[in-house]
Amino acid sequence: MSHQVLVINCGSSSLKFAVLGGHSNCPILEGIAERLDSPEQSFITFKHNGAKSVSALPGGDHQAAVGAIKEWIHNNKSAAIQLAGIGHRVVHGGELFSESVIVDERVLAGIEQCANIAPLHNPAHIKGIKEAQKQFGKLPHVAVFDTAFHQTLSADQYLYPIPMRLYREHHFRKYGFHGTSYRYISMQLAELSPTYGKQNALIAHLGNGASVCAISGGVSVDTSMGITPLEGLMMGTRSGSLDPSLLSFIAHAEQLSMDEALNILNKDSGLKGISEKSNDCRTLEMAQASGDTQADLALTMFASRAAKHLASVATNLESLEHLIFTGGIGENSALIRSRICQRLKTLGIILDETKNESVPRGEISCIAPINAVIKVWIIPTNEELLIAQDTLHLINKSIEPSPNT
Ligand code: AMP
């Protein structure tokens, strides 16, 4: 059987894809279709063997994007792509899904049911899954949920202190996100540390979206994101946690609806809102280095909030053996890692600044002093790889003969 999997990450206006399953962990093919369902011209980018091609996408919707991927695979026989199945990233699995599943009618109905708490994401996922089912009909499809890893949180952590009736009737609670990344990092850590099963770790997934997670014995015990990915850390364009009354103040002051005010917190806040320049950490680091004090303030606020949330989720751990940085910022910004660790000295976290500054890009590195009690790691995340692995695992399980046959 082939070991290749097409991983699809479907957003409302974009569709990211990758084919994994070669001899290395690197994708055989990857790309993105952008500006889907937009009045502007949509286009699709393919990257294969170091070569990149960009072309217009006639039709400009999810259907056209999936069709273009199928056509590329068909037309590029030398790439030798033979898919075993398709893995779909799904942002919200609510309380219905605590692990990855093979997609059937019941699963699709479940993803649809969770759309009330993920109105921006789940409808796009359903569109992508249905389209891929239509075009790659014979292949099995697997759904991998961002929320699933945090279904181990205890009620005292996942409940909001609001009337219980709202949880019972509407499932309003903390779900947490970035679960695929945290599970991947946790598996990497289990290989690095033989006693990991008895240890505790904090993970900071810092990218354009950012969150932290406390893990005990390989299981998520607390995380910073909530019912949506807006809660918790300051992010690229999201404010993170703030006094909820502010939403109503913004709406009244600017004569906006609640949804429009929420849009400001999701799209115009965070690094972008404070710097008034960019949501991109690298751009802000360059601006800060040339004396831009607003960029510096944005980066300081980002690091201080990340440290605060790490300390907060650490209250659910009995000890601490590992701190891991991952995501575009966590893996690449020595400045942010240093500023965060400086604020976590009270937890006993110490960084070797020389190692922090000189780590090779894209590799697992330990950046704590050699004898440090708490190991500080950089571990590059690979959500697509885990989605591909889950997909293959479930497909193999579904074709294994049962013990009674
Ligand atoms: P992600 O969402 O995980 O892809 O991460 C995107 C973020 O990582 C953006 O804010 C980038 O500016 C940031 N990033 C990527 N490379 C670097 C770098 N070398 N230094 C600082 N930030 C970086």
46 and 114 assigned to the same domain:
yes
Q: Which atom of ligand 1 approaches the CA of 283 most closely? A: 12
Tell me, yes or no, whether 281 lies in a domain: yes
Phi, psi for residue 21 in degrees, rounded to 5: 125, 15
Helices (H), 37-121: 62-75, 105-113
Average pLDDT, the chain: 95
Tell me, yes or no, whether 167 lies in a domain: no
CB 327 less than 6 A from any atom of ligand 1:
yes
Tell me, yes or no, whether 311 lies in a domain: yes
Instruction: Quote the CA–CA distance of 302 and 274 in Å, as a whole number.
Output: 10
How many domains are there within the chain?
2
Q: Which atom of ligand 1 approaches the CA of 208 most closely? A: 2
HSE (side-chain half, CA atoms, 13 Å) at 113: 13
Tell me, yes or no, whether 364 lies in a domain: yes
Tell me, yes or no, whether 379 lies in a domain: yes
* Rg (the chain; Cα; Å): 22
CB 329 less than 6 A from any atom of ligand 1:
yes
Tokens 């796009």 belong to which residue? 124
369 and 238 assigned to the same domain:
yes
Annotated binding residue 332: yes
CB 359 less than 6 A from any atom of ligand 1:
no
One-letter amino acid for residue 234 of the chain: M
Q: Which atom of ligand 1 approaches the CA of 285 most closely? A: 21
Annotated binding residue 9: yes
Tell me, yes or no, whether 139 lies in a domain: yes
Structure confidence at residue 243 (pLDDT): 98
- Cβ atoms of 81 and 29 within 8 Å: the answer is yes
Instruction: Quote the CA–CA distance of 372 and 364 in Å, as a whole number.
Output: 17
Average pLDDT over residues 66-85: 95
- Cβ atoms of 283 and 189 within 8 Å: the answer is no
CB 288 less than 6 A from any atom of ligand 1:
no
Residue 222 known to be catalytic: no
Tens digit of each residue's pLDDT (9 = 90 or more) over 139-184: 999 999 999 999 999 999 999 999 999 999 999 999 999 999 999 9
141 and 208 assigned to the same domain:
no
345 and 203 assigned to the same domain:
yes
Centre of ligand 1 from the C-alpha of residue 328, in Å: 4
Given a cut of 90, is residue 401 above it in pLDDT?
A: no
Q: For 131-140, 211-220, 360-369, which range has the lowest pLDDT when averaged over its residues?
A: 131-140
Given a cut of 60, is residue 405 above it in pLDDT?
A: no
235 and 362 assigned to the same domain:
yes
Annotated binding residue 296: no
Centre of ligand 1 from the C-alpha of residue 133, in Å: 34
Beta-bridge partner residues of 173: none
Which residue has the least CA distance to atom 8 on ligand 1?
Answer: 328
Q: Which of 225, 70, 56, 251 is nearest to 157 (CA)?
A: 225
CB 157 less than 6 A from any atom of ligand 1:
no
One-letter amino acid for residue 219 of the chain: V
222 and 365 assigned to the same domain:
yes
Q: Which atom of ligand 1 approaches the CA of 327 most closely? A: 3
CB 331 less than 6 A from any atom of ligand 1:
no
The band of 399, judged by pLDDT with boundaries at 50, 70 and 90, is confident
Domain containing residue 124: CATH number: 3.30.420.40
268 and 129 assigned to the same domain:
no
Instruction: Quote the CA–CA distance of 215 and 191 in Å, as a whole number.
Output: 15
Instruction: Quote the CA–CA distance of 144 and 99 in Å, as a whole number.
Output: 7
Structure confidence at residue 2 (pLDDT): 81
Average pLDDT over residues 116-134: 92
Which residue has the least CA distance to atom 18 on ligand 1?
Answer: 332
Tell me, yes or no, whether 177 lies in a domain: no
Q: For 13-27, 59-73, 216-230, which range has the lowest pLDDT when averaged over its residues?
A: 13-27
Count of all residues that appear for the chain in the document: 405
Comparison of pLDDT for 252 and 13, the residue scoring more = 252
36 and 139 assigned to the same domain:
yes
Q: Which of 300, 114, 314 is nearest to 223 (CA)?
A: 314
Tens digit of each residue's pLDDT (9 = 90 or more) over 22-41: 667 889 999 999 999 888 99
Q: Which of 333, 337, 339, 357 to mutate to test the pocket of ligand 1 (most atoms within 8 A of CB)?
A: 333
230 and 308 assigned to the same domain:
yes
Which residue has the least CA distance to atom 22 on ligand 1?
Answer: 282
- Cβ atoms of 145 and 220 within 8 Å: the answer is no
Tens digit of each residue's pLDDT (9 = 90 or more) over 269-279: 999 999 999 99
Annotated binding residue 280: yes
CB 181 less than 6 A from any atom of ligand 1:
no
Residue 344's domain comprises 195-384
Of 116, 145, 174, the residue that ends a domain is 145
Q: For 24-28, 192-196, 206-210, 393-397, which range has the lowest pLDDT when averaged over its residues?
A: 24-28
Instruction: Quote the CA–CA distance of 282 and 327 in Å, as a whole number.
Output: 13
**Catalytic pick from 37, 61, 104, 146?**
146
Structure confidence at residue 205 (pLDDT): 98
**DSSP letter, residue 54:** E
207 and 140 assigned to the same domain:
no
137 and 202 assigned to the same domain:
no
Instruction: Quote the CA–CA distance of 133 and 103 in Å, as a whole number.
Output: 10
| In the chain, % of residues over pLDDT 70 | 99
CB 223 less than 6 A from any atom of ligand 1:
no
Q: For 112-126, 192-206, 318-332, 383-397, which range has the lowest pLDDT when averaged over its residues?
A: 112-126
Tell me, yes or no, whether 180 lies in a domain: no
Given a cut of 90, is residue 363 above it in pLDDT?
A: yes
Tokens of 334: 């020595």
246 and 314 assigned to the same domain:
yes
Average pLDDT over residues 255-276: 97
Instruction: Quote the CA–CA distance of 211 and 344 in Å, as a whole number.
Output: 16
